[in-house]
């Protein structure tokens, strides 16, 4: 599994798709965004709010990947630009509430401008260095800005933050941002504009030189480019789009507080981007959607959800370093092959023991969590539609049996998957040779 997943890392020299394919992709994406809040399950306020959060996170993660995936810069303080953009937007919204004649849907532009401003300001310092030093400086600036939010309560509002209303202002084309659906559409519109602009950025001369700096900064200096300047341009652009995401956050929540510039948020965007996959443009979008969904749904089911998130992240790092996007896209060459159905069948076979193994692990984690963090709730609990008592040895024993037997059978299903893959890739290379 490991070797299969590592392969797409090498091919991250993404070929430029034709103009037709590209425009079809964007029109398709816009159409999906248009209908998403109307499909069953997502067509209530909770679903639409979740979709809005996903859109905001996607813009934020895409901006982060301009640094990490495109330029090879690992920042531990990217929330600074998100949060400062959010504060600027929420202050603009307050001014709008007091009569400034600007439609609220345009307010995120103030966030983008602020993100760019601080991207330029801090970027001129941080991008002098790369690698570990760069990472540490961004961490320092992140802490600095976080501390500042408590030192200047008149602007940052301290712990409580700054609130504003998104509905008290001039309506734009009938949009007064009352219903969550309208908020979603504003977020979706900005998100697709931002994504298209960021994609376009990767296709410009400086965007390509960002990739070159990521691959080999030394050689870049010998083809005429100042690597510091290239990193600076990437950093400023990333600041701009992070600020825009922060502005959308301000509209969606009508409050911006210190947590929006925190190291926790900087860490979350790193997780999103990495889980989605840094090597592909679409990766951060997938990561943002999945992680936002997990945060929203998992936290409703279990208090151990952060633990599961950590396990999930580790599994991605170890088994799919190219992220979920890499995992999905590595199937592209074989998707039209006859043996693709064998691959799917092999996955289904392997899935059953993996599920048994996972359930066993979940039972143990849940019982341990209950005993260690919530002893006041007692030892009786309901897991997977079954009443169990963590004080008796039986559920523990059953869980261990599930893990061990699941693992043994899972190992036996590997050759089936490998064989199916082998056949599909052979077919694919034959087909490629025939072309």
Partner 1 sequence: MNAMAKIPDIEAAPTALELCDLHKSFGPTPIIRGVSLGIARGERHAMIGPNGAGKSTLFNLISGRFAPTAGSIRLNGEQVSGFPPYQLNRRGLARSFQVTNIFPRLSVFENIRCSVLWSLGYRYSFWHRVDSLRDANAQAERTLEQIRMTARRDVPAGVLTYAEQRALEIGITIAGNANVILLDEPTAGMSRREAANAVELIRAVSQGRTLVIVEHDMGVVFDLADRISVLVYGEIIATDTPEKIRGNKAVQAAYLDSAHA
Task: Tell me the closest approach of the beta carbon of residue 349 to partner 1, in angstroms.
Answer: 33
**Cβ-based nearer residue to partner 1, 221 or 427:** 221
Residue ranges in contact with partner 1 by CB under 8 A = 10-13, 15-16, 200-201, 203-209, 211-212, 214-216, 218-226, 229-230, 233, 237
User: What b/e sequence results for 406-422 when a residue is b if at least 16 CB atoms lie within 10 Å of its CB, and e otherwise?
Assistant: beebbeebeebbeebbe
Q: Which two tokens stand for residue 362?
A: 């979940």
Give the residue with the Cβ less far from partner 1, 57 or 233: 233
Question: How near is the Cβ of 179 to partner 1 at its closest, in Å?
Answer: 37
Helix, strand, or coil (residue 107): coil
Cα dihedral angle (140, 143, 148, 153), rounded to 10 degrees?
Answer: 170
Based on CB atoms, which residue is closest to partner 1, 159 or 215?
215
If the CB atoms of residues 104 and 130 are measured against partner 1, the closer one turns out to be 130
Residue whose CB is less far from partner 1, 25 or 297: 25
Report the residue number, 63 or 292, with the smaller CB distance to partner 1.
63
Nearer to partner 1, 38 or 229 (CB): 229
Best CA proximity match to 247, nearest among 82, 39, 398, 428: 82
Burial of 336 (0-12, 13-18, 19+ CB in 10 A): exposed
What are the CA-CA distances from residue 132 to residues 138, 220, 293 (Å)? 10, 19, 32
CA–CA separation, 268 and 86 (whole Å): 17
Shortest Cβ 13–partner 1 spacing (Å): 4
Cβ nearer to partner 1, comparing 223 with 434 = 223
Q: Which is nearer to partner 1, 50 or 278 (CB)?
A: 278
| Helix H or strand E encompassing 82 | helix 79-97
Buried b (16+ CB within 10 A) or exposed e, 186-223: bbbebbbebbeebbebbeeeebebbbbbbeebeebeee
Nearest distance from C-beta of residue 323 to partner 1, angstroms? 15
CA distance 220 to 3: 31
> What CA–CA distance (Å, rounded) separates 217 from 253?
41
Residue closer to partner 1 by CB (options 219, 336) is 219
Closest distance of CB 1 from partner 1, Å? 21
Collapsing DSSP to helix, strand or coil, 387 comes out as strand
Give the nearest distance from C-beta 248 to partner 1 in angstroms: 22
Name the minimum Å distance from CB 234 to partner 1. 10
**CA gyration radius for the chain?**
24
b/e string for 126-161 if b means 16 or more Cβ within 10 A? Answer: bbeebeeebbebbeebbbebbeebeeeeeebbeeeb
Q: Which of 58, 110, 55, 119 is nearest to 86 (CA)?
A: 110
The distance of closest approach from Cβ of residue 64 to partner 1 in the complex, given in angstroms and rounded to an integer, is: 18
Taking Cα atoms as reference points, which of 419, 33, 93, 411 lies closest to residue 248? Answer: 93
CB neighbourhood size of 56 (10 A) = 28
Minimum CB separation of residue 207 from partner 1 in Å reads 7
Using alpha carbons only, give the angle 67, 228, 218 rounded to the nearest 5 degrees.
95
Closest CA to 276 of 325, 313, 315, 311: 325
CA distance 274 to 277: 5
Q: Which is nearer to partner 1, 15 or 174 (CB)?
A: 15
Q: How far is the CB of 363 from partner 1 (least distance, A)?
A: 43
Shortest distance, CB of residue 175 to partner 1, whole angstroms? 30
């Amino acid at each position: 599994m490991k070797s299969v997943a590592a392969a797409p890392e090498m091919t991250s020299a993404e070929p430029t798709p034709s103009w037709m394919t590209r425009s079809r992709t964007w029109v398709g994406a816009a159409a999906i965004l248009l209908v998403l809040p109307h499909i069953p399950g997502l067509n209530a306020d909770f679903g639409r709010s979740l979709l809005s959060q996903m859109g905001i996170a996607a813009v934020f993660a895409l901006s982060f990947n301009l640094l990490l995936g495109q330029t090879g810069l690992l920042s531990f303080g990217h929330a600074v630009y998100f949060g400062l953009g959010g504060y600027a937007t929420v202050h603009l919204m307050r001014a709008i509430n007091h009569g400034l004649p600007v439609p609220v849907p345009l307010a995120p532009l103030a966030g983008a401008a602020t993100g760019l401003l601080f991207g330029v300001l801090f970027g001129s310092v941080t991008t002098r260095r790369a690698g570990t030093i760069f990472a540490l400086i961004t961490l320092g600036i992140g802490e600095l800005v976080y501390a500042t939010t408590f030192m200047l309560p008149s602007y940052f509002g301290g712990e409580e933050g700054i609130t504003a209303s998104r509905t008290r202002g001039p309506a734009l084309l009938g949009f007064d941002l009352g219903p969550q659906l309208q908020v979603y559409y504003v977020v979706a519109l900005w998100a697709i504009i931002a994504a298209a602009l960021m994609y376009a950025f990767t296709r410009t001369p400086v965007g390509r030189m960002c990739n070159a700096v990521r691959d080999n900064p030394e050689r870049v200096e010998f083809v005429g480019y100042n690597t510091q300047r290239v990193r600076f341009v990437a950093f400023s652009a990333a600041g701009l789009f992070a600020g825009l995401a922060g502005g959308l956050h301000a509209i969606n929540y009508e409050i911006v507080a210190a947590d929006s510039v925190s190291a926790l948020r900087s860490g979350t965007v790193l997780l999103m981007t990495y889980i989605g996959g840094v090597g592909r443009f679409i990766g951060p979008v997938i990561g943002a959607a999945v992680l936002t969904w997990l945060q929203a749904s998992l936290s409703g089911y279990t208090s151990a959800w952060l633990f599961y998130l950590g396990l999930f992240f580790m599994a991605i790092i170890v088994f799919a370093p190219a992220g979920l996007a890499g995992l999905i896209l590595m199937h592209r060459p074989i998707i039209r092959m006859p043996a693709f159905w064998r691959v799917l069948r092999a996955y289904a076979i392997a899935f059953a023991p993996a599920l048994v193994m996972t359930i066993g692990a979940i039972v143990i984690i849940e019982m341990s969590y209950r005993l260690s963090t919530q002893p006041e709730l007692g030892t009786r609990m309901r897991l997977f539609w079954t009443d169990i008592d963590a004080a008796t040895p039986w559920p523990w024993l059953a869980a261990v049996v599930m893990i061990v037997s699941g693992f043994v059978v899972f190992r036996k299903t590997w050759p089936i998957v490998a064989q199916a893959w082998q056949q599909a890739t052979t077919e694919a290379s034959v087909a490629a040779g025939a072309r």
